[in-house]
Amino acid sequence: MRAPRKPRRTAREDGPDPIDRHVGKRVRLARLEAGLSQDELGRGIGVSFQAVQKYEQGENRVSASRLFRTAQLVEQPVSFFFEGLDHEAPAADVVMFRPEELDLVRHYRRIASKEVRARLLHLAKRISHESARP
């Protein structure tokens, strides 16, 4: 005797699939880290900015070919979009950064000198420790 089948999940009744939502959040994170607008990403992968919005919210699934093009455009491996997922379900929500935090990371990554990056990191740590004092 076969076990009863689970009813098919539908977006209309169950809302967006948690994995699609996770991938969408990672698309948004990668897009912001790359400094792209929704319109620029859309043009780069051949969809409208509205489609990008729906991808980012998990309302629409990103096809494999579009996810591959997105990865190329934002210079991330395809696996980036699945980081934080285990074999069963998505991990807790992806941490979203404020625009100025992403801007700081974007500029930090553009610094070619390891020594300069290390000094900048040390400076940021000193400032954060000093500003945390009463």
pLDDT digits (tens, 9 = 90+) for 53-112: 999 998 899 999 999 999 999 999 999 999 888 755 544 455 667 778 888 888 888 889
pLDDT for the residue numbered 96: 67
* Cβ neighbours of residue 97 closer than 8 Å, sequence gap 6 or more: 29, 32, 105
Residue 41 and residue 75 in contact, taking contact as beta carbons nearer than 8 Å: no
Write down all domains in the chain, each with its CATH number in brackets: 14-96 (1.10.260.40), 98-134 (no CATH)
Q: How far does CA 46 lie from the centroid of its chain? A: 19
Contacts of 83 (CB under 8 A, 6+ apart): 26
* Average pLDDT of the residues in 20-43: 92
Which are the contacts of 99, defined by CB distance < 8 A and separation ≥ 6? 32
The residue behind tokens 């977006």 is: 11
Residue with tokens 């790359």: 34
The pLDDT value given to residue 64: 95
Distance CA 122, CA 116 (A): 10
pLDDT greater at residue 105 or residue 1: 105
Q: How confident is the model at residue 9 (pLDDT cuts 50, 70, 90)?
A: low
Type of residue numbered 81:
F
Beta-bridge partner residues of 90? 85
Asked if residue 134 has pLDDT above 90, the reply is no
Would you state the pLDDT for residue 8? 66
Tell me what pLDDT residue 97 has: 72
Q: Distance between the two ends of the chain, CA-based, in angstroms?
A: 69
Here the tokens at position 133 are 């004092």
